[in-house]
Structure 1
Amino acid sequence: MKGSAFKFFPVTATFLISFSLLAESYDPLDPNGNITVKWDINSWTPEGYVAIVTIFNWQQYRHISSPGWILGWEWAKKEVIWNMVGAQATSQGDCSAYHSDPIPHCCAPNPSVVDLLPGVPYNQQVSNCCRGGVISSYAQDPETALSAFQITVGNAGTSNTTVALPVNFTLNTPGPGYSCGPATKVPPSQFHSTDNRRVTQAFMTWNITCTYLQNLAQRAPTCCVSFSTFYSPTITPCAECSCACASNSTLAALRGAAESTNSCIDPNTRYDELPAITTRGGSSASHPDLLYCTRDMCPVKIHWHIKTNYKEYWRVKVTITNRDFSRNFTQWTLTLQHPNFDNFTDAFSFNHRGLNPYGTFSNDTAVFWGVKYFNDILMQAGPSGNVQSELLFAKGKDFKFSHGWAFPHRVYFNGDDCVLPEPQNYPALPSNSPRVPSSFLSLVFIVIGLSLIEFVF
C-alpha cells in the first residue's frame, strides 16, 4: 500500500498543478484566445536551416503594447543563430569558438529575441516585422495582430529527422504574464503565391501555444469600476482596497497632506506642481507605478453612468481614467459583458465589436477601443488622463433598472479583470420602485448635475 500510495501522489500533484494552471488561463469571455508562435523551416543550409517565426495573437481584446514582446527559448543541442532579419537577439553570448568573418549573431544557449523598431533599412525587414514588438488584439485589427522575423540557425541538423525542437519557450511583454507550452510538430504550413496560382510548403513546422495568466502578470488587480445613475444621487465608488490597501501615508494624503507621499500623489496637488516624470508604455516595467492617492489604489478606473432613459432606448456614459503619472496606455481595450448587448445600438466616440464567446447561445459581450489619432492613447494622469464615450442601447424584452440589471457583469481593461463594487452597494431605485416613473421632476437637477460631472478620481 505504501509503495502504491507513493507512486500515486506525484501523478495526483502533477494533475492538480496542471488543472490549476488551466483554470487560471481559461477566460470565459475569450475561451479560444492565445498567442501561437509558428516556426516554419523554409530552406536548408550546409549546417542548419532558415526559418520564418511568426507570433499570432488570437486574443480578442488583449494586445501587446510598447515596449513590445520578448521571445525566449533554450536550444536542444548546441545551435547558434547565424543571422536574423526583422528581429535581433538581446545578447550575443559567447562566440569565442568561432573565428569566421562574420561570427554568429548569437551563440547563447538560451537566446532572447526582440522585434526591430519601425524605420529600419529595407534589407533588414521581412513581412510583418519591425513594429517595436507591438501586436494588436485580433478584434482591433487582424492585419496587425501578428509579428514575424527570419532566423538562420547553425549546428541544427539538415533534415526533418535531425532537427531538434527548442524547449522552454517564454513570452514576456516585457514583464511576465504568459505561460508557454512545449513546441509541437504540426502539418507543414502552405504558402500561396501573390497570384494564388502556386502553393509551396514548409519543410517542417512546429507551434508553441502561450496563454495569459493574470496572476502571473501581477499579483494585484490593475483596475476597478464605479457606478452612478441619473435617478439616484448616490455614486458607488470603487471598492476599498480593490487593487491595494491604503497605507498610513496614503491615508494622510487623502486627508489633505501638504506634500506628496512616497507611495502616491496627493490628489490636491496641481498638475503643474508635479516633478518631471518619465512616461512609459502600457506594459509592466521594473519601476513602480506613481498613482494618485485613492482608497482603492487602482491605476485605472472605469466609471459606468446610466445617463438617460428614453421610451425605446437608454444611454450610458463610460469614462476610463488613468491615475498613473508614469504610464500611457496605447491601443487600450475595454471589454464589457452586459445582457443588453443583444440590443446594442452605437458607441459615439469608441470603436467597437461584438464578441460571441458562447457561439449562438448568447451575445452579451463587446470590446471597445479608441479611434486612431483621436483617443487611442490613454494619457498619463492629469488633464488628458481620461477617455469617454456614450453607449446607446435599445430596450430589449428583459430591460429593467431594478436589481442592478443595468450595470455590467464583467469589465476588462486591456484584458485584465477589473474589480466591481459589491451588488448591495449599487445605486438603488427611489423607494425600491421596479421602474422609473415617467414624471421624475424631483430629480431634474440631479440629472443635469451628474451629466456634467467629470469622474477624474
Structure 2
Amino acid sequence: MGGFSRSCRGAVVLFAVLVISTVFVAVSGQGAVVPAPVAPPPLALVTPPVQAPVALAPVALPPVAPLAPILAPAPAPAYIFPSCDGVEVVYTLIATAEIFPNASTPAKQPYSFEGSVTLTNKGYSTLDMWGVGMTFQHNEIMVSADGLSLEDGRAFPVNVSDGAVLSPSPPQALRNSIETAGDATKISKVFNIIGTEFGEPLRPMPVTLNITSKGYNCTKPKFYGNTTMHTCCVEPSQNITLTSDDIFLPPIPGDITITYDVLQAYTSNYRAMVTISNDSPVGRLDNWNLQWTWQESEFIYTMQGARPKVADTQVCVGGLAGKYYTGGMDVNNAMSCSVSPVISDLPLEKTNDTTIGNIKYCCRNGTIMPAVIDPSKSKSAFTMNVYKLPPNVDDALHLVPPAGFKIGNGGDATSLYTCGAPRLIAPSLFPDPYLDYSTNSMKTWQVSCNVTEGPRKPPPKCCVSFSSYHNDSIVPCPTCACGCKANPQPTCSANTSAMLLPYSALTLAPENRTAQLLAWASILHKPVPNPLPCPDNCGVSINWHIVSDYSNGWSARMSLFGWDNVTHPEWFAVVEMPKALPGFEKAYTFNATKIPPTNTSFVVQGLTGYNNYLLGSNLVKTGVSVLQSVISFTKKLTPGIQVKGRDGFPTKVWFNGEECAMPDSFPTSGALRMASPTVLGVFVLLVCTLFLDPFELL
C-alpha cells in the first residue's frame, strides 16, 4: 500500500507541473507545443486534484482594455457678426438632398433644401410689423415656412423664383432688449423654411436678404462660410419704445379692407363679424368671393349674412372635431369644416331673413360699390360662430385670426387683389343707436388688399379706342388687349400692332372686321401684315371721340360697346384726364361727377331706368350693345389746352372697377387724314359697308 501511495503522489505532482507550464506558456504568448495528455489514473483518485488548477486559469488572464467612447463631431464654430444697431437677419442653409425625378440635364435636377431665418432685434425700438424679403436664383419653390406666410397671400407650395416677402402668421412683434431685460424669446425669432430648387446640389443660397419695415436700411448681405448669410437693418431712429403684449397697429388704407372683429369669446368658441369695405374710388366687386386659411384648424358652426361654397362636414366628422365635440353639439350640422373656406354673399331677398340674413350690410348679391358712387353700398358684412380645437379650448382669450386672405370677383378669388397679413388694431366700437353707450370687440384685426400689379396682374377685361373729327381713322384697341386665345382661327399675330379702322367698322365685332381692315389699308396705302394682327378679345370696349373744338370749349362723345353675353347692371366708368378735368361741365345722357380730392378724374354712370344696364350682346339684334353720351368742356379754366393733342384724350379709363387697356397712340391733326383715296379703295369700302352685318353709325 505504501508503494502505491508514493507512486500516486508522484503522478499527481508531475501532472500539476505540466498543467502549470502549459498555462504559463499560453499566458506569456509563446508558441510552445502542447504535451501529449497523460493517461489519467482511476477516476476516483484523479478527478479532485485536476479541477483545482483549471479553476485558476481565468485569474491569470490580463485585464481587457476599455473601448474608446463614441463622440459626436465637434460643432462648427459660431460666427462673430459685426455690431448691429437695428435688426440682425441671418439666413442659414441646413441641408440639401437630391430628389426625384432624375433629370438628364444637371441644371434641371431638383434638390430639396432646408434653411432657417433668424431675426434679432438689437436696436432701441420694437418692430411691431415686419416682413423678411429674399430674392432667389435657382427657381426655388417654397413648400413650407413654419410660422411665416407670403405677404402677397399666395399659398404654399409656391414658386418664389422672382423673390418673396414672408411675414409672421399670426403677427409677432420683435421686442427690444431694453423693455424686456434682454429676454431672448422676445427679441429673437427663428423660422424654418423647406423648399425645392433646381441645379444647385450644395449651396442654394438667396441673393438678397432684408426686412421690409418702413425706414429700416439694410446693408448688403455678407456670406460667412458657404451656408450663412448676414445683414444688418439699421433702425431709422434710436427712440426707446415701451410696448405691451397687445400692440395695436395703425390701420393701413387699401383698395379693399377686411375687418375681423371678435364680438364674444368663450373657452371653446367665439363669435366674429367680418366686414368688407370698398375704399377705392374706382374699384368695384361683383359676386365677391372671400377666402382664408385657418391657423389652428378651426371650423364654422353657424353663419349669418353669407354662405360658404362647400360645407366639407366630413373633415369635422372624421377629424379631431368629431372626437372632441361628442356631447350636445352635432358636428354634422357645421356650416363649414374646410381649412380654407370660400365664402360668398347672399342674394338681396335674404336681407330680412332672421335665420341666415338680417345682418347690417349683408345680402347685396356680392356687389360692393365705391363710396363715391353710393356710400350705402360700399360695405358687406356677415357674422359666424367659430369653434376651436384642442389644445386651445381652455382659454377664452386665445384668439387667432385666419391668414392668407384672398378676395376677388366671381370665380377669381386669387389674382385680382393682393392681401396682406392680418394686423391687430384697436378694438372696433359699436355705438348704441339710442344711448350714449358703445360696446367694443374683444379683438380686431384688419387686412388690407390692393389691386394686383406686376407679372401676376390679370389681363384687362376692357379696352379703349380713340378717334377725332379731324382724322378719318380710328386708333383701335391694342392687339390682344384682353389676352390672346390659345389657338386662334384664323391664324393671327399677337405681336403685330393693331391696324387703323374706318368709322364703319366700329360697331362690327372684331372678328368680322377683316374685309374693312384690308379695304381701309388700301385706301391709306398702308402695308398689310401677314398674318393679320389678332383682335383685342375684350368683352367691353370704349370709344372716346372728339366731336368739336372751338375757342371757348370743346366736346367729346363716349361710347360703350358690349361684345359678350354678359349684362352689366348699374355700370360705371372712371375717366382720368388731369389737364382737361378743370374745364369739365357735364354729360348729357350719363350722370357724370368729379372725384375729389385730386379732381383729376370723373365718374360716369347710366341714368336709372334708361341706360344704366349695358346689355349682353345676345340680347340685342345687332349683336353689340351700345350706350353713348356727349360730354362738354369749357376752356375758361384750362387756357392753352391742346385738345387735338394728348390733352383731349383720357390717360386711363376704368370700367366697373377694372382698368382698361389703352391705345398705343392717338389721332393727330391731319397726319392720318385721308388725302387722296383711290377709286378702287372707296368702292371696296362701300361694298363692305353695305353687305356686312347690320351696324350703327356713330
TM-score range, shorter chain: 0.7 to 0.9
Aligned to 1:122, the other structure's residue is in SS state coil
Question: After the TM superposition, which residues 42-81 of structure 1 pair with which residues of structure 2 at under 5 Å, given as runs?
Answer: 42-65=263-286, 68-81=287-300
Note if 1:112 corresponds to 2:234.
no
Could you list the per-position Cα deviations for residues 46-72 of structure 1 after superposition, in whole angstroms to 9, with x for gaps in the alignment? 52211211111111121111xx11212
Question: After the TM superposition, which residues 354-369 of structure 1 pair with which residues of structure 2 at under 5 Å, given as runs?
Answer: 354-356=594-596, 363-369=599-605
Is the CA contact (8 Å cut-off) linking 2:582 and 2:599 kept in structure 1?
A: yes
2:616 equivalent in structure 1: 380
Note if 1:227 corresponds to 2:466.
yes
Q: Specify which of 141, 145, 167 is matched with residue 403 of structure 2.
A: 167
Could you list the per-position Cα deviations for residues 138-164 of structure 1 after superposition, in whole angstroms to 9, with x for gaps in the alignment? 221111111001111122658674111
1:454–1:17 Cα change, 3 Å: farther
Q: Specify which of 500, 506, 512 is matched with residue 267 of structure 1.
A: 512
Question: After the TM superposition, which residues 292-441 of structure 1 pair with which residues of structure 2 at under 5 Å, given as runs?
Answer: 295-324=535-564, 326-338=565-577, 339-356=579-596, 363-381=599-617, 382=620, 383=622, 385-395=625-635, 396-423=638-665, 426-430=666-670
Structure 2: distance between partners of 1:248 and 1:87 = 40
Structure 2: distance between partners of 1:214 and 1:202 = 34
Unmatched 5+ residue regions in structure 1? 23-30, 253-263, 269-292, 433-452
After TM superposition, the structure 1 stretch with the greater mean CA deviation from structure 2, 313-322 or 94-103, is 94-103
1:294–1:414 Cα change, 3 Å: farther
Question: Shift of the alpha carbon at 1:313?
Answer: 2.1
1:214–1:139 Cα change, 3 Å: farther
Structure 2: distance between partners of 1:158 and 1:312 = 75
1:216–1:180 Cα change, 3 Å: farther
Please give the TM-score of this superposition, normalised by the length of structure 1. 0.73
Unmatched 5+ residue regions in structure 2? 1-78, 82-88, 93-116, 118-131, 137-161, 167-211, 213-251, 493-508, 514-532, 673-694
> How many residues are paired up?
382
Give the partner amino acid of 1:135.
Answer: I
2:368 equivalent in structure 1: 135
Give the partner amino acid of 2:285.
Answer: I
1:203–1:12 Cα change, 3 Å: closer
Question: Shift of the alpha carbon at 1:429?
Answer: 2.3
Question: After the TM superposition, which residues 84-123 of structure 1 pair with which residues of structure 2 at under 5 Å, given as runs?
Answer: 84-93=303-312, 94-96=315-317, 97=322, 98-99=325-326, 100=328, 102-103=330-331, 104-120=334-350, 121-123=353-355
2:35 equivalent in structure 1: none
Structure 2: distance between partners of 1:405 and 1:72 = 42
Aligned to 1:428, the other structure's residue is in SS state coil
Give the partner amino acid of 1:420.
Answer: M
Could you list the per-position Cα deviations for residues 157-195 of structure 1 after superposition, in whole angstroms to 9, with x for gaps in the alignment? 586741112122221322131222111110001111113
Question: Shift of the alpha carbon at 1:411?
Answer: 1.9
Question: After the TM superposition, which residues 136-215 of structure 1 pair with which residues of structure 2 at under 5 Å, given as runs?
Answer: 136-155=369-388, 161-174=397-410, 175=412, 176=414, 177-195=416-434, 197-213=436-452
Structure 1 or 2, whichever has the larger Rg, is: 2
Question: Shift of the alpha carbon at 1:390?
Answer: 1.4
Is the CA contact (8 Å cut-off) linking 1:61 and 1:140 kept in structure 2?
A: no
Could you list the per-position Cα deviations for residues 304-326 of structure 1 after superposition, in whole angstroms to 9, with x for gaps in the alignment? 111123442211110011111x3
Note if 1:13 corresponds to 2:135.
yes
Give the partner amino acid of 1:240.
Answer: T
1:38 equivalent in structure 2: 259
Is the CA contact (8 Å cut-off) linking 1:35 and 1:211 kept in structure 2?
A: yes
Could you list the per-position Cα deviations for residues 395-427 of structure 1 after superposition, in whole angstroms to 9, with x for gaps in the alignment? 12132334332111222223333232233xx32
Give the partner amino acid of 1:370.
Answer: G
Give the partner amino acid of 1:73.
Answer: W
Aligned to 1:119, the other structure's residue is in SS state helix
Is the CA contact (8 Å cut-off) linking 1:178 and 1:216 kept in structure 2?
A: no
Could you list the per-position Cα deviations for residues 78-110 of structure 1 after superposition, in whole angstroms to 9, with x for gaps in the alignment? 322121111122222223115545532222222
Aligned to 2:355, the other structure's residue is in SS state helix
Aligned to 1:228, the other structure's residue is in SS state strand
Is the CA contact (8 Å cut-off) linking 1:32 and 1:59 kept in structure 2?
A: no
Aligned to 2:284, the other structure's residue is in SS state coil
1:337–1:265 Cα change, 3 Å: closer
1:238 equivalent in structure 2: 477
Give the partner amino acid of 2:376.
Answer: E
Give the partner amino acid of 2:543.
Answer: H
Aligned to 1:143, the other structure's residue is in SS state helix
Structure 2: distance between partners of 1:265 and 1:408 = 23
Structure 1: distance between partners of 2:288 and 2:671 = 53
- Kindly report the root-mean-square deviation, in angstroms, between the aligned alpha carbons of the 2 structures: 3.5
After TM superposition, the structure 1 stretch with the greater mean CA deviation from structure 2, 393-402 or 201-210, is 393-402
Give the partner amino acid of 2:576.
Answer: Q
1:115–1:306 Cα change, 3 Å: same
Aligned to 1:388, the other structure's residue is in SS state strand
Structure 2: distance between partners of 1:349 and 1:160 = 58
Structure 2: distance between partners of 1:200 and 1:243 = 48
After TM superposition, the structure 1 stretch with the greater mean CA deviation from structure 2, 402-411 or 183-192, is 402-411
Please give the TM-score of this superposition, normalised by the length of structure 2. 0.49
1:107–1:32 Cα change, 3 Å: closer
Is the CA contact (8 Å cut-off) linking 2:311 and 2:338 kept in structure 1?
A: yes
Question: Shift of the alpha carbon at 1:208?
Answer: 1.2
Question: Shift of the alpha carbon at 1:341?
Answer: 0.6
Question: Shift of the alpha carbon at 1:218?
Answer: 6.1
Question: Shift of the alpha carbon at 1:240?
Answer: 3.4
Is the CA contact (8 Å cut-off) linking 2:510 and 2:535 kept in structure 1?
A: no
1:248–1:178 Cα change, 3 Å: closer
Q: What's the % identity of the aligned pairs?
A: 25
Give the partner amino acid of 2:421.
Answer: P
Could you list the per-position Cα deviations for residues 108-148 of structure 1 after superposition, in whole angstroms to 9, with x for gaps in the alignment? 22222221222222332211111222211222111111100
1:348–1:157 Cα change, 3 Å: farther
Is the CA contact (8 Å cut-off) linking 2:606 and 2:612 kept in structure 1?
A: yes
Aligned to 1:40, the other structure's residue is in SS state strand
1:441 equivalent in structure 2: none
2:71 equivalent in structure 1: none
Structure 2: distance between partners of 1:138 and 1:60 = 7
2:691 equivalent in structure 1: none
Could you list the per-position Cα deviations for residues 212-234 of structure 1 after superposition, in whole angstroms to 9, with x for gaps in the alignment? 21667864332222222223323
Structure 2: distance between partners of 1:248 and 1:82 = 48
